A and B are shown apart, each in its own frame.
Chain A
Amino acid sequence: MSDATEKEGRGVRAVETGLSLLGLFLDSDGPLSAADLALRSGLSKAQVHAYLVSLQRGNMVVRDPQTGRYAIGPFSLELGMSRLLTLDPQITASEEALKVARKLGQSISIAVWGRYGPVVTAVVQANDQLLNSAQPGTVYSVTGTATGRLFAALTNEAEAREIAKLQMAEVTPPRYVGACPPFDEIHEPLETVRRTGVSITYSFPQPGVTAISAPVYNFSDELELAVTMIGPAEEIDISLEGNHVAPLRALAATISRKLGFIGKASGA
């Protein structure tokens, strides 16, 4: 082992240097020349050239014969597409949500946008108080829950309005959880969601219970699911930079990244 370690020690360094060069493309808006790569990596041009030979040979980068510049190549696309085949957004979301729920001692629901409003697909529970009445299969109200408002603000508003109308027309007991104010009365909360990217209901719809909901985007830049933290109003800090909103947003960003979201293209 010891001689292999010694020998591979150099090998590893070279692999990491190669991957660092590849990483430089992620911070760049377009193709890079060998000189750009040398400048940004601090390597000599000769070294960069040697790495580019191998990266090109493996189709990790491609060289545009017209400009002589390099870009990330088709092998990277093949790797990503293979990764997607085995990726389950629900499992990824539950695993990541559980870590945050445990750290903060709160409960987190995962919900998707179904044909009749937000549907809970998982609940990760890390507190001993039963405040989160949701379970897999629970439908949230569109207009009177943090999760419902998140989807209404960030997806198709006309569709959300239709579903809200159907939910409002239900007789008691309704098949959804939460209050159901008319759609036209939630204009302001929806605007706040669009502006801040997070949906918060303080001590509402259930008095004493606060919810914070954040969006998770996928490989196609579509809203895949919502993560919603639910806890006692006196414990949950609802300020945007506070101890609950910030980690929940970070959770949503982590799951999004794991699903292949790299941020919406500028100017799109």
Chain B
Amino acid sequence: MVKSPERQRGVQSVDMAIRLLEIVRKESQPMMLRDIAVSAGITSAQAHTYMSSLKKFGMIEQLGDAGRYALSDATLTFARHVIRNDATLNANINVARSLSAEIQEMVTVDCLVQEQPTVIFAVQGPRTPSLSLRPGTRSRIGNSAAARIFDAWSDTPEMNPNLSRIIRASGYAHAEGTPVPHLASLAAPVFREGALVASISVIGFPDAMAPEPERPVLRALLAAVSSLGGSSA
């Protein structure tokens, strides 16, 4: 029987470095060294030494004259490797790319990151109106069809149970007037071994995004998702 990592000794300073990264990650603004140190319960001098090592590896950078600390480039490189090495996410991205080429609309792949629906891939279509929706963007049930998909299959849904039921039964969600007033989105769920792992969304003008299964965009979206094979438990 292998002991779980929680019970084993490990390397104390690596644990601390990861803790410091999480402190910087949680704060949306670049942080002062002493605030990082206080959060971690170590001295500023100790925090400084850790930050130097994290900086050397491109995980952390210092900004402005005050030298505040923020996450840096290497975090993106690691995130891309996580996505590329995940067969399901990779398949979703390939399907999303061909879907966009087929219907000429903007397509995104969303996943739950830290429990929040987050865009991990976005491709603009030639008909896409200017919209700064990009990887990293998080969405809420109030403003995106993708967020409604995650909510409909969540254990603690926020939405009205009737709406959840309709989304689960029809296999797609629709949101209009979002993320900006003149746009609409359609989203469909992707499952792996019965569990929801991602959502694929199309974003465009409301007319093309009409939630009628015989319309070409919705038909293409549902075909794309079903080509990925998974089904809900």
User: Which residues of A does B touch, CB under 8 Å?
Assistant: 1, 4-5, 8-12, 14-16, 18-20, 22-23, 25-26, 30-31, 50-58, 60, 71-87, 115, 156, 159, 218-220, 222, 257-262, 265, 268
Contacts and interface: CB of A to CB of B under 8 A. Distances in A.
Interface residues of B, number: 62
B81 A72 contact: yes
A258 B58 CA distance: 10
Contacts of B5: 52-54, 56-57
Contacts of A258: 73, 76
B6 to A, nearest CB: 6
Contact of B11 (A25, A54, A86): A54
B123 A220 contact: yes
B80 A260 contact: yes
Given A8-B46, A80-B76, A84-B76, A30 B57 contact: no
Contacts of A72: 78, 81-82, 85
Interface of B: 5-6, 8-19, 21-22, 25, 28, 43, 45-46, 49-50, 52-54, 56-57, 59, 70-73, 75-85, 90, 93-94, 113-114, 118, 120-124, 126, 130, 134-138
B135 A219 contact: yes
Contacts, number: 198
Interface of B is mostly: helix
Contacts of B77: 26, 80, 257, 260, 262
Given A15-B14, A51-B14, A262 B80 contact: yes
A235 to B, nearest CB: 32
A262 B25 contact: no
A18 B17 contact: yes
Contact of B57 (A23, A50, A75, A220): A23
A137 B9 CA distance: 58
- The list of the 6 closest CB pairs from A to B, nearest first, reads A80-B79, A84-B136, A58-B18, A54-B10, A260-B76, A11-B13
A80 B80 contact: yes
Given A15-B50, A159-B126, A76 B10 contact: no
Contacts of A16: 53, 56-57
Contact of B28 (A12, A26, A86, A222): A86
A71 B56 contact: no
Contact of A12 (B53, B72, B81, B93): B53
Contacts of A78: 25, 113-114
22 contacts: A5-B45, A8-B50, A14-B14, A15-B17, A15-B50, A18-B17, A22-B78, A23-B57, A31-B85, A51-B11, A53-B10, A57-B10, A58-B19, A75-B21, A79-B79, A80-B75, A80-B77, A84-B135, A219-B76, A220-B121, A262-B84, A265-B84
